């Protein structure tokens, strides 16, 4: 399967501002690109490329006052298979978990493991079978407990806030599920990237980047998605971290306003037109 991906983002700054972006396909998916990503900046500025401690490909830009436009287009190969399913995957004891993964058990900015959620998690999921079934039970709970509403999105909502308010967007579903997994001693990390309407009914709302999470069971990471609560086709990973604070798409160190935000993720059904399938750059 081939998937066309890309975005057109414009930010306006009142003063010259440093910007860090996380807008490249994750290095783990880079070999699947049909050709290198076409990444452009307007105005044409130097970008300092680097990799953070989670292995994400980032860039730093010194943006002048005015509008900064970020554009990318690419075609990526995908297996076309649903997220992995391993119902017998076991949960390891704390003493068995590799030390680099222990930080994914700890509290983080949006995931308050050290809160009332700890007691709730053990009361609610303590009798479930450790491992895959426990994680699925957590996803089932979060999926039914929260109501998805774009109009209720806010940047400072934590897992505990979402639990109490019972509303949010995909990052809120993800933060609550991650927190409950960590409460149950299951390493969980935040993932963000492209997720188009492939294999599911089309969503009439404008496309956006999506958030899901990965859990560490029986020696490997598995994908779960509390917002959709179903296995999906065509996830294209961009960033991994402890929570959303580690993987903002753009981080500006000054006042900004968003002028344009367009994301595209769609399957290319006619392989003969791959060469013509790249996104048409907006004027």
In this prediction, residue 272 has a pLDDT band, given cuts at 50, 70 and 90, of: low
* Per-residue pLDDT at 282: 37
The two structure tokens encoding residue 241? 């971290």
**What are the tens digits of pLDDT across the range 82-127?**
999 999 999 999 999 999 999 999 999 999 999 999 999 999 999 9
In this prediction, residue 275 has a pLDDT band, given cuts at 50, 70 and 90, of: low
* Per-residue pLDDT at 187: 98
**What are the tens digits of pLDDT across the range 190-210?**
999 999 999 999 888 888 999
In this prediction, residue 280 has a pLDDT band, given cuts at 50, 70 and 90, of: very low
Domain ranges of the chain: 2-78+248-269, 94-245
**What are the tens digits of pLDDT across the range 210-240?**
999 999 999 999 999 999 999 999 999 999 9
Q: Does the structural domain 2-78+248-269 have CATH classification 3.20.20.70?
A: no
In this prediction, residue 18 has a pLDDT band, given cuts at 50, 70 and 90, of: very high
The two structure tokens encoding residue 48? 């300092």
In this prediction, residue 247 has a pLDDT band, given cuts at 50, 70 and 90, of: very high
The fold for domain 94-245 equals C8orf32 fold (3.10.620)
Say if pTM beats, i.e. exceeds, 0.85: yes
């Amino acid at each position: 399967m081939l998937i066309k991906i890309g975005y057109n983002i414009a930010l306006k700054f009142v003063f010259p501002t440093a910007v860090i972006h996380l807008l490249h396909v994750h290095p783990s998916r880079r070999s699947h690109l049909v050709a290198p990503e076409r990444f452009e900046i307007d105005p044409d500025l130097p970008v300092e490329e680097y990799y953070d401690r989670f292995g994400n490909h980032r860039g730093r830009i010194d943006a002048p006052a005015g509008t900064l436009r970020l554009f990318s287009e690419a075609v990526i190969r995908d297996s076309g298979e649903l997220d992995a399913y391993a119902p017998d995957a076991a949960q390891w004891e704390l003493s068995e978990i590799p030390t680099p993964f222990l930080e994914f058990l700890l509290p983080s900015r949006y995931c308050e493991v050290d809160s009332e959620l700890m007691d709730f998690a053990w009361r609610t999921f303590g009798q479930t079978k450790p491992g895959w079934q426990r994680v699925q039970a957590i996803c089932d709970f979060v999926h039914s407990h929260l109501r998805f509403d774009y109009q209720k999105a806010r940047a400072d909502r934590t897992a505990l806030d979402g639990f109490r308010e019972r509303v949010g967007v995909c990052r809120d579903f993800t933060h609550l599920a991650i927190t409950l997994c960590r409460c149950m001693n299951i390493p969980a990390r935040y993932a963000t990237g492209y997720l188009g309407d492939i294999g599911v009914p089309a969503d009439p709302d404008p496309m956006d980047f999506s958030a899901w999470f990965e859990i560490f069971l029986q020696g490997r990471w598995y994908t779960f998605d509390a917002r959709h609560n179903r296995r999906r086709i065509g996830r294209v990973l961009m960033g991994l971290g402890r929570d959303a604070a580690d993987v903002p798409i753009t981080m500006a160190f000054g006042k900004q306003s968003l002028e344009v935000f367009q994301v595209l993720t769609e399957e290319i059904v006619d392989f003969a037109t791959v060469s013509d399938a790249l996104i048409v750059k907006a004027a």
